[in-house]
Amino acid sequence: MIGWLLLAAATAALALWGWRRSGSPTAFFAASRTAGPVVAGLAGTAAGLSAFVFVGGPSYFAAAGAASLWIILSAPLTGALQCWAVGEPIVELVRRHRCLTVPELLAARFGGGWPQGLAALSIAIGATATLAVQVKGAAVLGSALFDAPGWLVALAALVATVSYTAAGGMRAGLPAEAAQGAIMAVAAVAIAAATLLHAGGPRAAVAVIAARRPELLDPWGGSGGTAAIGLFLLFGLGTCAQPHYLQKFLLLKDRESLRWLPLVTTVALLAILTVWIGVGVGGTALFLDGAFELPSTDELTPQVLSALGRPWLLSLAMVGVIAAIMSTAASLLNIAAAAVTRDLPAAVGRAPSSGVAPARLATVVVGAAAAALALASDRPVVLLGVLGWGTFTAALLPVMVVGLNWGGCSRRGAVAALVIGPAVQLALEAARLAGAVGPPWEPGLTGAAAGVAALVLASAGNRPDPARGAA
Amino acid sequence: MKTATVPAAALVLAGLWCVAQAGDAPALAAAVAVAAIGATAATAILRRGSRRLRVAVAALSLLLGAGLAAVFAAPAGSAAALAVQLALVIVLAPLAPLLYAVTFAEPPGDDP
């Protein structure tokens, strides 16, 4: 109860602080471009990692073993890769055109209208769907970790996030996300270390798994090597296409901030991901050793925390999970509000509002829509979940990586990629759900590959606009 | 940069990735993954092609390729395979961001 009161007080203070400082679109959507490498790195990492890391990641290890690690094995590379491929072009476009959103970057590069509108549409739908999955996840975690009705925990986290995000936009969201990233890192390292120690250390834990369930140490798992590499590539390249990651480049105060951004991002990312490996390996070993029953692998983290028998670790885990949910939700709310109130109107020729009142209202509406989607039914949320990471990768990877770096990319090519990429991804997701396509086919990457092909072929023979060119 | 290098490389990698999936060929998939990550990082070379940057991107790509090859070579279901996976993280985690910082430079002709 004290924790919830503290959360309410902190939210109210942050909302008030943000309200006073977010009167302009630059403040609301780009945090007045105040972010240095530490704040942007922590915030970007917190926004990119959801509560799945604390609960779903270890559970995935218990179910799929070392094959699950392919999702996180690209983590050491992603910070540098992002800055090389998209961060530097984005910062250059911001310097020239003062862009505030990812669709505005595409408008600056390819012209307004369709490129901006299609990107805004995919961001609005994808961000709302991903937010709904966050809310649903919070509801599941709420009942598992908090000894309270799940929907109540989810609603409390969402209302708190919507409050300060609607009041202060990213001006309030940026410092909150940076603090949440630091909290997540501390919580993750503490929980991972405690679990591995309880299991007798990493060597002993691996030895137990090798003796009882050696198949969990197979790096390729049941789906095979191609599918495992597909996950590695999806999460490696996909970071260059996630709008809530890319948004952080729009918040940087100067180009020099890029220099140390990958280092901060990588340290924060790996610190948080220790919970995946630590609780995954240590918790699985404890379960195999008979330390606790595991009716479902989804319950690994709660069971581990219970077995550790330290209330302060449980509290730390709860704070880490709430921080993970709120940080991801804040960025998604802001980019969806920007897409609805700024990019979509601009794409149809209307001037965006000079104030932030429509964006504040849109933030509340997007939050309410996500909550309704998440709590109404399981099925739509599960189906809409596919519109997350994979759809952003399929829709935005071709235009962000190839389009921003190749001067020959035409507007027609960008539009083709923005249409064909997600269309192929969604068709493959539907085929996978129907059982018509097997595991080697990774929908997000295949969509991105189709988008790249469409971009290149549709640009062939086109004379690029010399005024625009590559960033 | 308006050369044919970027579209040609992108098209070839996209095609090879689909071939790897269609044939369920893990070795080809791994090769394409290394090449795709290397090519993505190499887009920076198009903007500022310093020798140090070329060496940094090549070194990361080679290390990644060697790491994935070592995972393939490790006996399946052994602790060695897990150790190789984790070694990949431990080696690349400090290296990639530090190489980025060391090779970071203002683009030529950048106005303040």
Per-position DSSP letters for A418-470, written without gaps between them: HHHHHHHHHHHHHHHHTT-S-TT--HHHHHHHHHHHHHHHHHTTPPP-TTT--
The verdict on A394 and A251 lying in the same domain is no
Whether A237 sits inside 8 A of B79 (CB atoms) is: no
Cα–Cα distances in angstroms (integers) from residue A426 to residues A392, A396, A412, A451, B57, in the given order: 11, 14, 22, 13, 33
Write out chain A residues lying below 8 Å of B94, CB-based.
266
Rounded to whole angstroms, the Cα distance separating A114 from A116 reads 6
Question: Residue A264: closest CA among chain B residues belongs to which residue?
Answer: B97
Furthest-apart CA atoms within chain B: distance in Å: 56
Which of B1, B20, B71 faces A406 most closely, judged by CB atoms? Answer: B1
A-proximal residues of B, 38-67, CB under 8 Å: 40-41, 43-44, 46-47, 57, 60, 64
The verdict on A81 and A159 lying in the same domain is yes
Q: How many CB atoms lie within 10 A of CB B46?
A: 15
Cα torsion A174, A177, A183, A188 to 10°: value is -140
Whether B78 sits inside 8 A of A210 (CB atoms) is: yes
Tracing tokens 């990641």 back to the chain, one arrives at A57
Rounded to whole angstroms, the Cα distance separating A163 from A175 reads 15
Rounded to whole angstroms, the Cα distance separating A67 from A75 reads 15
3-state secondary structure of A220: coil
- Could you tell me if A181 and A334 are in contact, meaning their C-beta atoms sit under 8 angstroms apart? no
Is residue A111 one of the residues assigned to a domain? yes
CA-based nearest distance B22→chain A, Å = 7
* Interaxial angle between packed helices A300-308 and A114-145, expressed in degrees from 0 to 180 and rounded to the nearest 10: 40
Rounded to whole angstroms, the Cα distance separating B71 from A225 reads 11
- Could you tell me if A417 and A454 are in contact, meaning their C-beta atoms sit under 8 angstroms apart? yes
Is residue A333 one of the residues assigned to a domain? yes
**A215: Cβ contacts below 8 Å, ≥ 6 apart:** A65, B77
The verdict on A365 and A412 lying in the same domain is no
Rounded to whole angstroms, the Cα distance separating A53 from A37 reads 23
The verdict on A397 and A453 lying in the same domain is yes
A78: nearest Cα among A121, A109, A48, A35? A48
How confident is the model at residue A5, as a pLDDT?
85
Question: Residue A209: closest CA among chain B residues belongs to which residue?
Answer: B79
Optimal mutation site among A38, A70, A81, interface B, most CBs of chain B within 10 A:
A81
The verdict on A268 and A352 lying in the same domain is yes
Rounded to whole angstroms, the Cα distance separating A94 from A346 reads 17
Q: Is the pTM of this model over 0.90?
A: yes
The verdict on A11 and A47 lying in the same domain is yes
Residue type at B54 in one-letter notation: R
Is residue A109 one of the residues assigned to a domain? yes
DSSP state for residue A353 in the 8-state scheme? P
Number of residues written out for chain A = 471
Q: Can you tell me the ipTM of this complex? A: 0.94
The verdict on A330 and A426 lying in the same domain is no
CA-based nearest distance B45→chain A, Å = 9
The verdict on A175 and A49 lying in the same domain is yes
Is residue A305 one of the residues assigned to a domain? yes
Question: Residue A71: closest CA among chain B residues belongs to which residue?
Answer: B85
Is residue A378 one of the residues assigned to a domain? no
Whether A218 sits inside 8 A of B107 (CB atoms) is: no
Rounded to whole angstroms, the Cα distance separating A44 from A202 reads 29
CA-based nearest distance A440→chain B, Å = 5
Domain range for A267: 2-373
CA-based nearest distance A212→chain B, Å = 11
- Could you tell me if A119 and A399 are in contact, meaning their C-beta atoms sit under 8 angstroms apart? yes
How confident is the model at residue A103, as a pLDDT?
97
The verdict on A395 and A429 lying in the same domain is yes
Optimal mutation site among B55, B85, B98, B111, interface A, most CBs of chain A within 10 A:
B85
Question: Residue A255: closest CA among chain B residues belongs to which residue?
Answer: B106
A309: nearest Cα among A139, A194, A201, A184? A194
Low-confidence ranges of chain B (pLDDT < 70): 1-2, 106-112
Write out chain A residues lying below 8 Å of B44, CB-based.
84-85, 88
Which of A75, A260, A449 faces B17 most closely, judged by CB atoms? Answer: A449
Residue type at B77 in one-letter notation: G
User: What is the DSSP secondary-structure string of A252-304?
Assistant: BS-GGGGTTHHHHHHHHHHHHHHHHHHHHHHHHHHHHTTSS--SSGGGHHHHH
Q: How many CB atoms lie within 10 A of CB A152?
A: 14
Rounded to whole angstroms, the Cα distance separating B94 from A266 reads 8
- Could you tell me if B74 and A114 are in contact, meaning their C-beta atoms sit under 8 angstroms apart? no
How confident is the model at residue A387, as a pLDDT?
61
Rounded to whole angstroms, the Cα distance separating B56 from B39 reads 13
Total domain count, chain A: 2
Whether B82 sits inside 8 A of A225 (CB atoms) is: no
Is residue A380 one of the residues assigned to a domain? no
Low-confidence ranges of chain A (pLDDT < 50): 380-382, 466-467
Whether B78 sits inside 8 A of A214 (CB atoms) is: yes
Whether B96 sits inside 8 A of A262 (CB atoms) is: yes
A37: nearest Cα among A94, A105, A87? A87
Q: How many CB atoms lie within 10 A of CB A4?
A: 15
The verdict on A251 and A203 lying in the same domain is yes
Of the three residues A373, A399, A424, the one that is the final residue of a domain is: A373
Optimal mutation site among A93, A226, A400, interface B, most CBs of chain B within 10 A:
A226
How confident is the model at residue A89, as a pLDDT?
96
Whether A85 sits inside 8 A of B41 (CB atoms) is: yes
What are A252's strand-pairing partners? Answer: A35
Rounded to whole angstroms, the Cα distance separating A375 from A261 reads 37
**Residue A297 belongs to a domain with what CATH number?**
1.20.1730.10
Number of residues written out for chain B = 112
What are A72's strand-pairing partners? Answer: none
Which of A206, A446, A455 faces B21 most closely, judged by CB atoms? Answer: A446
Which of B36, B88, B98 faces A237 most closely, judged by CB atoms? Answer: B36
Which of B33, B46, B77 faces A233 most closely, judged by CB atoms? Answer: B33
What are A35's strand-pairing partners? Answer: A252
Q: How many CB atoms lie within 10 A of CB A288?
A: 18
Whether B78 sits inside 8 A of A85 (CB atoms) is: no
The verdict on A420 and A333 lying in the same domain is no
3-state secondary structure of A356: coil
Of the three residues A351, A373, A395, the one that is the final residue of a domain is: A373
The verdict on A38 and A60 lying in the same domain is yes
CA-based nearest distance B104→chain A, Å = 6
Burial class of B83 by CB neighbour count within 10 A (0 to 12, 13 to 18, 19+): middle
Write out chain B residues lying below 8 Å of A215, CB-based.
77
Write out chain B residues lying below 8 Å of A403, CB-based.
none
Is residue A283 one of the residues assigned to a domain? yes
- Measure the CA angle with vertex A382, ends A378 and A387; round to 5°: 140
Tracing tokens 């003796």 back to the chain, one arrives at A211
Is residue A379 one of the residues assigned to a domain? no
Which of A266, A407, A408 faces B96 most closely, judged by CB atoms? Answer: A266
